[in-house]
Amino acid sequence: MEKRRSAPPVDAFEQVCVSKGEDDEMEIVFYRTSKVKLVVVWIAIFLSLFFIRLIFYWRRDWYAKSVASRCSPNAHADWVILKDKSMQQFAHRIHTRILSDSLKHDKSRTKSISRIDVESKSDPTPEYSIQTFFFHQRLKYILNTKRSCFEKTSVPPLTLSSLLTSKGLTLAEQHSRRWLFGENSIRVHVTPIIILLVTQALNPFYVFQLFSILLWTAGESYYYYAGCIGLLTIVSLAAQIIQQRMMERALKKTIGVNNSCFVWRSDLNEWREVAAETLVPGDVIQIPEAVDCNIPCDLILTSGDCIMNESMLTGESVPVTKVALEASESDVIFDLTQHSRHVLFSGTSVIQQRRTAGDDVVKGVVYRTGFSTSKGELVRSILFPKPIDFKFTNDSYKYVGFLATMALVGMVYTIVVKQLNGDAAEDIVIRTLDLVTIVVPPALPAAMTCGIVFAQFRLRRSRIFCISPNTINVCGSLDAFCFDKTGTLTEDGLDLLAIRQAAPDGTFEENLDLSAGSKHGEAGHLKAENNNNNNHHHHHHHLLHRDVLEAMATCHSLALINGTINGDPLDLKMFQFTNWDFEETNVKGQVQGQGPALAPIVVRPKPSTNPRDSNPPSSVREIGILRQFTFSSKLQRMSVVTHRRASRRAEDLTLFTKGSPEMVASFCRPQTVPDNYESVLNSYTSQGFRVIALAMKELSGEATTDALARVRNLTRDECECDLTFLGFLVMENRLKAETIPVIHQLKIANIRTIMVTGDNMLTALSVARTCGMLTLVDRVIIASVSVSSSDRPSEIFWCPVEMPNAATNLNSFETNGDVEKNRLEFVDSRVSFAVTGRSWALLRQHFPQFLPRIVLRGTVFARFSPDQKKQLVEELQSLGYYVGMCGDGANDCGALKTAHAGISLSEAEASVASPFTSKQPNVSCVLSLIREGRASLVTSFGIFKYMAGYSMTQFLIVCIITWPVVGSTMSDFQFLYEDLFVVTTLVFTFCFTGPHSSIAPRPPMISLVAMAPVTSLLCCMSLNLGVMLFSWYYTQAQPWYEEPDTRDGRDSDDTNVNYDQTVLFLITCTQFITMATIFAKGSPYRANIFSNIFFLINLLICTSATVIMIFNKWPWWAWLLELKMPPTFAFEGIVIGVCCIHFFVSYLVEMYFVDVLVERWVQPCLSRLVFKERVKYKLVEREMETSPDWPPLADKSLAEVMEMELAATSADDGDGAKKQTALHEDAQQSPRDVIVNGHRSDGIENPAFEITPADECDVAMTIDDVSMTIDETAYDSASNQEQSLLERDDDDDDHIDDVRTDL
């Protein structure tokens, strides 16, 4: 027998990662419950009257570490602790479950679905189907013992051929997979009120409130004050419960309910209607024909085409066309990012579907279900938002910790003083605990959220909606903002300005100028039956080549929806110019009113009476679009295969391609590309025009049904090669009217503006110059990287670009050949880098040392893919920037989520693509967001300082004067007056002040522990203490002064009334009013204090009431507050004078000494001289300032650089197929085999779509040998149990289960 090894020491345990390399990567540590620790912990819990258990409720990971010991994954661990990238820790119980008790005694009928090989004497049959798993944020993780980690339940790599030939699952296979993957549901439960009440009441804030109320009522008889605070607590608790319920209901309504769908059962050989919750990966389902039908899961389209509305996920209102998988790419491994055009995502809705010829239905294979889907990920991002690492928030915790430390010191001090005074033990305990409620104000958390709540309300009035309110304060610290170009800085609509056709002799023909009749069109839709608004272009048609006109009429992804042509604005404008008709086949494959159709889309020219038309009506032929290779931002092109239906000649099967000029030209035959291609392209892009290249290729074969079937088997690589270049479409993408003023305001505010776009480099540079991102003093350098080869490594070239003056005619960008002259000019100008996406990828790979400098000075990033946009935002954040991102929500989703503050321009009221969604379709929302963010941040700063000053003032008066000397404290109504009438109302109206009308050049401070705020509080407290001491001593020096009768003000009804307490109470009331006034700063971040009418009225009321009390004009008021008023009017006047002097001195100290001298002069000087610079981008900036000879400029022309980029782009695209082949070969060599619909990668037949067990992974499914009938009742019970575990474990609310399990 093998001897069991002892557990290694804690330090020897290796850190294991979950989801390694993904966004949700976490460290995982295993724990096993120790009976000894468990007993000790529960004894401590009982002795502490369950207070320790309450702490464990707040920090469940502490509980797990207290009752369990660290162990290896295979040592029967029953706890797992996860630590994410934000250093948050989560503790979850590990559950082990057997498939079915009915199968436990029949090994022959059971095949391991998820086998856990563990040493267990209690389980002698490890071959049974066992799951060891836990849930984290609604995702299920299953233990892989060989890797000693947990893995998400997911489908292994699949080939496209296996997906295309999938025949679905049998009923038994479906049940087995459902047992592994769980329900296909995204459940957001509306929590019962009683549970919400208990959960919210156990919040630390409300627990502290309850402790304070009990202390005030039981120990100090503050019944009125405790009653008012209790009432406010109940109102606050009820408001939070109502808000939580409303949010849950709204989210549940947004998510919707999945209905039934039709699934193909291979064992029954028929379509069966099942509930959508029962879907599992591998199911083949029908795409519903109903309009606006929601997709219940992520599925891969295997037949037919669909037009989808993905606005819920991306915020993009333009319909998206999804096409079926291509049979020609059978050996390619399915990749969700690369093949997203074939995926229907959960939560999106079907606008229209088109069946493939020969198919009865549009169908797809289920890929992901439940919370693993794209919709599930977005719902999880709402339920579990990413914590915001913001310095202000972190410093606020430090401040609270400092106050708690001060309270601890005060408690020790109070015990000593009370003991020396001979007070009773009961009184000492009560006074000591009461000090905690004085130093740490219970209303602090509520007060801190007031500014954010009012800022969110003002943003909503500006049509900016927020799903992450805590991000608003972060917006006040933004110092870099990234913008997408198309649809964000520029209009969505395009004007077709010119067509430049290629001539057969290898040159360009004369420019066909369309600008005279061009009108700026809308970016929405145009009626199919009404294209007469394009008749002004029709006289140009006779000048167009037939191929160019047909390319414009067919090479698009438009769709006919309810009689309206919808699609991309560029496609709409291009097709509108042709003045052709657009028709679609109906669901039965018939053209409306005609016979069977071979093509789903047919376009034909309108009958023309123009004698100059090159195509007279007698020879007009309609064109059918047989196949679409949809546009991809990564590929930068799209293609269509067409045929002319009036003829069956071989050349009538034609491929048309359009896309970025660099990409299209790389696929064309060199002899068809004009020699002056680069110069003509640069002449257009340098003026900011958007240029689209057209190309075509005549395909061999006749347009017959067999040929059409063969077309559908062609790969994209086979079609998009050896093209004939046709020419350019030149379009104007105008700047929005708000763009230039917004960029100008951001530049004044010293906020970096960065353009990151998928468009052409020179077009982006021109737009950046026009909108003001690049100024006249900026010198632009294009950083271009050459591709490495066998004989030479990669090189980086720094190419200076001579930017044209905006006032002159923009003809072209040129490179100044005199490098030395350029070097001298660069010394006195600012360098701005421009980088393409291709060079960015090579920089990250070969020259990472230059990346910080390029990111620091980079202004234009062109031809960037969505992933590269996200990488740029991450690089900016790594340099210490607070980054904002503004985009249209389509290709910018990753960057919008990664940025500190992402704002999506969308028509949706709330898009889950970013924290903020603006219904203003322009970038003016950026200014509103920054202004509100700065105002909210400064408001939070002021409120925090005010609440800290309020608590420290009461602490000083209690510890230094009242308890040790006077021997009494304030009365019940005095606390009511100060805390509720003065402090609470002032804090509430404090937040009403809106943002300043302009953005200041200097952002507000974000650190509470910096010199300025600390100095501000110290000066304020010093002045407060000085005034209190002066007033107290001056009162005792008066001839009418009477000593307090007793040290214990609670011995009789009138002994608590004395002159000392009265004067100190009146002085502190005026000090609270003074602090509220000086901390309510206006310019430059908030509006003037006089704009806040409510705050002014509140100040007036509080000041008037306090002055009336000082002059004792209302004797009943003094009686109610238990005040002993001074008998002389002269003394009252002196008190008023002291308060006025204190106000003016405090105001001068705050406004001039702190804000001017300390914050603007002393603090920056000390930061430079004493403290090391912590912000990385400032260090990089200093390095660049000390290296004036960097970068070494290359003596290359712009044409050479663009040619190098073009050649590299072509080479990169040509390597794409090789990379996919290599990926497939790696998958074949992997121990995990992929079997889909009976076709394995190694050629072995298998009768079902399944995932075989891998040697390296225990999370596998083998369904081919499963010949069993699963008991439905047993399965439903297990499924319900799993769902219950998911809900409890995921929300960290299974503390009752912890207690039950432990006991």
- What are the angstrom distances between the C-alpha of 141 and each of 147, 152, 180, 1254, 1290? 13, 4, 10, 17, 12
> b/e per residue, 344-363, with b = 16+ CB within 10 A?
bbbbbbbbbbbbbbeeebbb
Q: Is 869 helix (H, G, I), strand (E, B) or coil?
A: helix
Instruction: Tell which residue, 487, 537, 486, 484, has the closest CA to residue 515.
Output: 537
Q: Taking the CB of residue 804, how many other CB atoms lie within 10 A of it?
A: 18
Pair of tokens at residue 1280: 């319900």
Name residues whose C-beta falls within 8 Å of residue 1219's C-beta, 6 or more positions apart in sequence: none
CA separation for the pair 599, 590 (Å, rounded): 9
CA separation for the pair 545, 515 (Å, rounded): 19
Pair of tokens at residue 1082: 């206006």
Amino acid at 1035: T
CB 918 within 8 A of CB 904: yes
> Is 484 assigned a catalytic role?
yes
Q: Is 365 helix (H, G, I), strand (E, B) or coil?
A: strand
Q: Taking the CB of residue 512, how many other CB atoms lie within 10 A of it?
A: 16
CA separation for the pair 695, 577 (Å, rounded): 18
Q: Is 865 helix (H, G, I), strand (E, B) or coil?
A: coil
Amino acid at 479: D
Q: Is 28 helix (H, G, I), strand (E, B) or coil?
A: strand
Pair of tokens at residue 89: 């820790």
CA separation for the pair 254, 1058 (Å, rounded): 62
Instruction: Tell which residue, 661, 297, 284, has the closest CA to residue 502.
Output: 661
CB 741 within 8 A of CB 772: no
Query: Vertex 1118, ends 1115 and 1123: CA angle to 5°?
Result: 135
Q: Which of 423, 484, 571, 652 is catalytic?
A: 484
When computed from its CA atoms, the radius of gyration of the chain, rounded to whole angstroms, is 36
CA separation for the pair 525, 561 (Å, rounded): 10
- Reported for 241-248, long-range contacts at CB under 8 A and 24+ positions apart, including other chains, are 241/193, 241/196, 241/197, 241/200, 244/191, 244/196, 244/200, 245/190, 245/191, 245/193, 245/196, 248/188, 248/189, 248/190, 248/191
Backbone dihedral region of 928: left (phi > 0), alpha (psi from -120 to 50 degrees) or beta? Answer: alpha
CA separation for the pair 648, 653 (Å, rounded): 9
CA separation for the pair 1245, 1231 (Å, rounded): 17
CB 368 within 8 A of CB 281: yes
Instruction: Tell which residue, 385, 137, 121, has the closest CA to residue 247.
Output: 385
Q: Which residues are catalytic?
A: 484
